[in-house]
């Protein structure tokens, strides 16, 4: 660019200086903004790091709670099984009493030297002499176990005949 006039050259120089000052001011403003942006970015990074740490802690707590819940569920299932068994025993006391009475009768017969009777066999007290003797003793007020023990001890021949017949059961 050729300048033939000093006045025009001075005006052009002032315009360029003004643009330079504006550029410097803008550059300074951008530097200040960049500094503020960097500070904001650092603050956001710190918040993100804290959020990540919080998320890991929450994950750890959730896993612990899940394990605790699983353990509690296992304990509950065990308790429910025990409760069901107890309810079954309570709901059928006659079965429990019969089982204990049969065990007691076997113990009495074993103490008298009588061999044990096969499990699961059904008694056939009618139509045989030993069964009738046991029924007669029970009719006199003896318990089933006492009646069987009495008949085994006092009517051994009938007892042996009954055992040989195969129609035996825990009496």
Domain count, the chain: 1
Look at residue 120 and tell me if it is in a domain: yes
Look at residue 129 and tell me if it is in a domain: yes
How much is the pLDDT for 64?
92
Counting beta carbons within 10 angstroms of the beta carbon of residue 171, is it exposed (0 to 12), middle (13 to 18) or buried (19 or more)? buried
Residue 134, sorted as left (phi over 0), alpha (psi -120 to 50) or beta, turns out to be alpha
Buried b (16+ CB within 10 A) or exposed e, 46-75: eeeeeeeeeeeeeeeeeeeeeeeeeeeeee
Look at residue 42 and tell me if it is in a domain: no
Look at residue 62 and tell me if it is in a domain: no
Look at residue 121 and tell me if it is in a domain: yes
How much is the pLDDT for 95?
65
Round to whole Å and give the CA distance between 151 and 154: 5
Look at residue 11 and tell me if it is in a domain: no
Range of the domain at 152: 93-165
Mean pLDDT, the chain cut into blocks of 10 residues (171 residues total)? 71 91 89 85 91 92 91 91 81 70 80 66 55 88 89 87 71 56
- Whether the pTM exceeds 0.75: the reply is no
Look at residue 56 and tell me if it is in a domain: no
Look at residue 79 and tell me if it is in a domain: no
């Amino acid at each position: 660019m050729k300048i033939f006039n000093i006045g025009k050259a001075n005006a052009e120089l002032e315009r360029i200086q003004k643009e330079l000052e504006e550029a410097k001011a803008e550059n300074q403003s951008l530097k200040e903004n960049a500094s503020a942006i960097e500070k904001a970015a650092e603050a956001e990074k710190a918040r993100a790091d804290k959020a990540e740490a919080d998320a890991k802690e929450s994950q750890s707590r959730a896993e612990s709670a899940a394990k605790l819940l699983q353990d509690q569920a296992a304990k509950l299932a065990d308790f429910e099984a025990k409760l069901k068994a107890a309810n079954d025993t309570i709901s059928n006391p006659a079965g429990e009493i019969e089982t204990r009475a049969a065990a007691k009768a076997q113990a009495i017969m074993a103490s008298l030297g009588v061999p044990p009777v096969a499990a699961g066999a059904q008694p056939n007290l009618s139509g045989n002499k030993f069964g009738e003797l046991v029924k007669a003793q029970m009719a006199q007020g003896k318990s089933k176990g006492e009646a069987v023990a009495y008949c085994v001890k006092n009517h051994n021949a009938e007892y042996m005949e009954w055992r040989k017949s195969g129609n035996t059961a825990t009496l």
